[in-house]
Structure 1
Amino acid sequence: MTAVQPAAPVVGRLTGRRVFLTGGGSGIGEATAHRLASEGAAVAITDAREEAATRVADAVRAAGGTAIGLRCDVGDETSVADAVAATVAEFGGLDGAVTCAGISGTAMLHEMDIAHWERILRVNLTGTFLPLRAAIPHLLEAGAGSIVTVGSVASLVSTNLNTPGYDASKGGVLQLTRSVAMGYADQGIRANCLCPGLVSTGLRANSTALQGPEPEVTRSRVVENTALARSADPAEMASVIAFLLSDDASFMTGAAIAADGGLTAN
């Protein structure tokens, strides 16, 4: 199969935008950092692994973009508050927020221990709530803003992959996004939820709560049910995020965007 080449960045589309990004040290977050910077945004790249955030920020700057790298544990209130404060101090405010941090994990519900459940919800759901809570006051101060959360096809349908904690957390991300969209629409803030299908990232490798089938077994099962019969490149998700942050998506809020290769159309 011919390699897919994501659409070229729209140069200048995000010029002047200041964006706080979680999970920017790898996968969709890393690709998003590069994409947003290439379109003119100043990006605060955060990750629980400070060295990963710094590495990506260095690469963005080497390519001519504007970025800082910060440690941020999205499930810790103080860590999130400090990272947002550092971003505002560096950039002078915020115009957007993107929450890419996430982990996965498989287990039958009746066999799942409470630590597994709480870790997934802490990173995926609380780890969306805390960055948005910290960022929104600055978006309000700016007079407008755009938020993109990263859910999953699991926000929309059951993946049938024995991931009840992940599915519950990603369903919560979508509903939280809709609540934000409705609550702040009259104050100039849009919020949309990207719901990716299978993406070639390090999510499973980074998920310390992971249990269950081997990655390739899971991957082949999902590909079989995906109309395009492949996984996505992270850059394909980043291009959707850049669109949603931009004024090209000015009439979109509260939407669940299934960028899933046709998985949910099956």
Structure 2
Amino acid sequence: MTASKVPARLVGRRVLVTGGGSGIGRASVLRLAAEGAAVAVTDLRAESAEAAAEEVARGGGHAVGLPADVADEQSVAAAVRAAAGQFGGLDTVVACAGLLHSAATHETSLDLWEFMLRVNLTGTFLTVKHCLPHLLTAGGGSIVTVGSVASLVAGGWASCYDASKGGVLQFTRAVGAEYADRGIRANCVCPGHIGTNLRAHSTAAVGPPATPPVSRVTAPMNRRADPAEVAGVIAFLCSDDSSFMTSSAVMVDGGFTAV
């Protein structure tokens, strides 16, 4: 979608995006800012968060870059406080931060299992936990988490990833049900094959997979998604256009889960 065709649905919104320095997170930062939101970009790599914020500024938008390690509660709390301080509150959160690492289950160490859960699942919990008081103060808002097709269907060589993303979906559903009567919606976007560097970041943290799996696209559309395509769905879920949606799993997978 060209800039001239992007709707201005998010003017006045104050959004925190985790994992905003790359991939789906960065694409979401750019899309949300293009739709008028003020965006706090957080990333484990401070320079990546700042670069994304600078890109928004060059396009005429409003964003700030903040360092945050979603696996560390103090780091998350500090980033949320800083974002709310910059914008005078928060009313929208997009939890994109996550990692992918493949390994056969019998070759998966406890350290790897706990690391994947800590980043993907606990990181989502900590982000939502610390943003919720601000959404409640604002009188409502929208939470969007990023799951995966692995939230719903199992694949080989990634049991710890599948478990973490299944947890993200169920956590999101629970939050949506819990806070629906207080004006807060929570939905989970579940992308399929997509061109991001999740695996590269994971490899840097915990080492390469013991037995690399074969990566192939098996969706009917026979291609990988562009992160911007997922970001468009995230923007929709942040906006009032999705006002009757909560606790939903929204597949953006080229038909992968249909076959």
Aligned to 2:172: 177
Identity of aligned residues (%): 59
Aligned to 1:193: 188
Aligned to 1:105: 101
The question of whether the paired residues in 2 share the 8 Å contact of 1:153 and 1:159 is answered with no
The question of whether the paired residues in 2 share the 8 Å contact of 1:104 and 1:166 is answered with yes
* Deviation for aligned residue 1:12: 1.8
Give CA deviations for 1:237-257 in whole Å, capped at 9, x if unaligned.
000000000000000000000
Aligned length: 256
Return the letter of the residue paired with 1:230.
R
SS in 2 for 1:119: helix
Aligned to 1:240: 233
Aligned to 2:124: 128
Query: Which of 227, 247, 265 in structure 1 is aligned with 2:258?
Result: 265
Query: Which of 145, 151, 155 in structure 1 is aligned with 2:151?
Result: 155
* Deviation for aligned residue 1:181: 0.4
Give CA deviations for 1:179-223 in whole Å, capped at 9, x if unaligned.
1001000000000000000011111111133414557x31x2xx1
CA distance in 2, matches of 1:105, 1:78: 25
CA distance in 2, matches of 1:189, 1:25: 26
Query: Which of 199, 212, 223 in structure 2 is aligned with 1:230?
Result: 223
1:250–1:165 distance in 2 versus 1, CA, 3 Å: same
* Deviation for aligned residue 1:159: 2.2
The question of whether the paired residues in 1 share the 8 Å contact of 2:102 and 2:212 is answered with no
Unmatched segments (≥5 aa) in structure 2? none
Q: Which runs of 4+ in 1 moved over 6 A?
A: none
The question of whether the paired residues in 2 share the 8 Å contact of 1:75 and 1:123 is answered with yes
CA distance in 2, matches of 1:257, 1:7: 24
SS in 2 for 1:20: strand
CA distance in 2, matches of 1:9, 1:35: 12
RMSD: 1.4
Give TM-score scaled by structure 2 length.
0.96
Query: Which of 160, 165, 168 in structure 1 is aligned with 2:160?
Result: 165
Query: Which of 57, 64, 75 in structure 2 is aligned with 1:61?
Result: 57
Query: Which of 84, 88, 93 in structure 2 is aligned with 1:92?
Result: 88
Unmatched segments (≥5 aa) in structure 1? none
* Deviation for aligned residue 1:84: 0.2
SS in 2 for 1:148: strand
* Deviation for aligned residue 1:11: 3.1
1:83 counterpart = 2:76: no
1:150–1:201 distance in 2 versus 1, CA, 3 Å: same
Give CA deviations for 1:93-128 in whole Å, capped at 9, x if unaligned.
011000000001111112111111111111100010
Task: Please show how residues 40-51 of structure 1 align to structure 2 within 5 Å.
Answer: 40-51=36-47
1:21 counterpart = 2:8: no
SS in 2 for 1:207: helix
CA distance in 1, matches of 2:96, 2:181: 25
CA distance in 1, matches of 2:146, 2:78: 22
Aligned to 1:211: 209
